Amino acid sequence: MPPFDSARFTLWLPQLLCAAFLAILFLQSGLDKVVDWKGNLGWLTGHFARSPLKGVVTPMLAVITLMELAAGALSGAGAVALLVNGNPFLAYLGAVLSALSLLALFFGQRMAKEYAGAAVLVPYFIVALAGVYLMRLA
């Protein structure tokens, strides 16, 4: 952790907060999909029943689950690395994968014509993009 009164602290703190936010968001979401696989699969099967993606719900759920778990793990490891040695590289990878995961979720919501659900993802995507940008400023 850089000294509180340093210019580096001003960048380090938003990097840490962004990495922690993305870790919480994606670890919780990914673990929920693992713990309640059947419930999520059932809901998503109905959600995509009238979309062009109706035949690929199971592989989509598997891919998005893996993406979310990886994004959360990388973001969490990145937050720890920022705390331990100030290195933002893992947090950068976590933010990139978070943004890609959100794009996949956004695509799915749009394909299902769930426009309100797609709109809810936009603020999360902005946080992920901020993370990508912030992690590269170091």
Alpha carbon distance 70, 98 (integer Å) = 9
pTM of the entire predicted model:
0.93
Phi, psi of 124 (to 5 degrees): -65, -40
Residues 14-61 pLDDT 10s: 999 999 999 999 999 999 999 999 999 999 999 888 999 899 999 999
Average pLDDT, the chain: 95
- 31: nearest Cα among 59, 2, 4, 71: 71
**Residue 31, both tokens:** 């673990």
Q: What percent of the chain has pLDDT over 70?
A: 99
Please check the confidence at residue 4 and state whether its pLDDT lies above 90.
Answer: no
Contact assessment for residue 88 and residue 135, using Cβ atoms and an 8 Å cutoff:
yes
Alpha carbon distance 34, 70 (integer Å) = 13
Helices marked H in 36-88: 37-47, 57-85
- Residue range 90-103: mean pLDDT, rounded: 98
Q: Where are the domains of the chain?
A: 29-135
Which pLDDT value is given to residue 2? 84
Contact assessment for residue 82 and residue 12, using Cβ atoms and an 8 Å cutoff:
yes
Which pLDDT value is given to residue 38? 96
